[in-house]
Amino acid sequence: MTVAGDFGTIGLVGAGAYGAALALAAARARRKVVLWARDAETVAAIERTREAPRLPGVALPEAVTATTSLAALATTDALVVTVPTQSLREVCEALAVILPSGLPVVSAAKGIEQSTGLFTTQVIAQACPGARPAILSGPSFAVDIGQGLPTAVTLAATDPDLARALAEALSSPAFRIYHSADPRGVEIGGAAKNVLAIAAGITIGLGYGESARAALVARGFSELRRFGEAHGAQGETLMGLSGLGDVVLSCASPQSRNFAFGLALGQGRNVADAAGGKLAEGAFTASILASMARERGIEMPIAEAVAGIIAGASGVREAVTGLLARPLRAEL
């Protein structure tokens, strides 16, 4: 059985804000950390200032070592991969060449691969066949984790002992990780909530007010639940931190990149400009989420509306008008 003590050194793949925050969280859990960044400038900046460029004002302890060498990750006891979902396969294929078989590889991305419709643990399993996939998700902003503010998330794997051991190894007093044996439910919550956050941002950007946002979030969560149940997710997972918890956070705060993206769309900016140079995972997830729902006959009008806006098939006000014109029926 794997125990928390086995994970003395954690590899963090990706030195963006969230990767740096998780590296710091692992260090606070008394783990040594190897933080991989793609570019040498980021590594040099970390070594010079002990701060990650994407997470300024938060000091990284000496337990965190930055590197551009993927080979340096081969000696770690587990990996947490924070690269965006659409880049995950490429990174995992590169890792597969150097990683020992049986190494836990935890995805911290929230999305669905556009080209295949696969969830992130499935991408890891395909691209890095020797890995033991897991998923980390839940209501968390990098800045909150970095500042040591109380945060709770979920770590899931099909092997419950692995999930428990990883959760114990990475938890600290302010960063609480609950474990689960339902990775699909955790992945669906993280992917679908990003699309709902875009819709919530659009609602506020249009000036429709808090009552409209509350209604949209409630109906959107019903869509998430239907999609999750059709894909075998457990109801408890969807109602937990990685489902409802993340929906609440992402649909309520402009700190959420997806909410901020939707807000800009609602205020009249076009799709190309709305992201403001920042990644909004939901913009890539919306189309594949809606497509997967249609294939199974799952009704997801809010996801469809967001996908149509991003694809340029409908304008923001046109899409919202279409949602408001839907027939009244019993609430399900």
Catalytic positions, please? 193
Instruction: Give all strands of the β-sheet with 32-36 in edge-to-edge order.
Output: 64-67, 32-36, 9-13, 78-81, 104-107, 132-137, 151-156, 175-180
Residues 6 or more apart whose Cβ sits within 8 Å of residue 165: 1, 2, 3, 4, 6, 7
Residues 6 or more apart whose Cβ sits within 8 Å of residue 62: none
How far is CA 93 from each of CA 89, 115, 118, 123, 159, rounded to the nearest angstrom? 6, 16, 15, 10, 23
Q: How far apart are CA 243 and CA 191, in angstroms?
A: 9
Structural contact between residues 106 and 70, judged by C-beta atoms closer than 8 angstroms: no
Structural contact between residues 255 and 143, judged by C-beta atoms closer than 8 angstroms: yes
How far is CA 267 from each of CA 15, 169, 248, 263, 316, rounded to the nearest angstrom? 32, 44, 22, 6, 9
Which pairing describes strands 132-137 and 151-156: parallel, antiparallel, or unpaired? Answer: antiparallel
Q: How far apart are CA 325 and CA 319, in angstroms?
A: 10
Q: Where are the alpha helices (DSSP H) in the chain?
A: 17-28, 40-49, 85-96, 120-127, 142-146, 160-170, 183-205, 209-230, 235-238, 246-250, 257-266, 271-274, 281-295, 301-311, 316-324
SS3 231: coil
Q: Furthest-apart CA pair in the chain: how many Å? A: 61
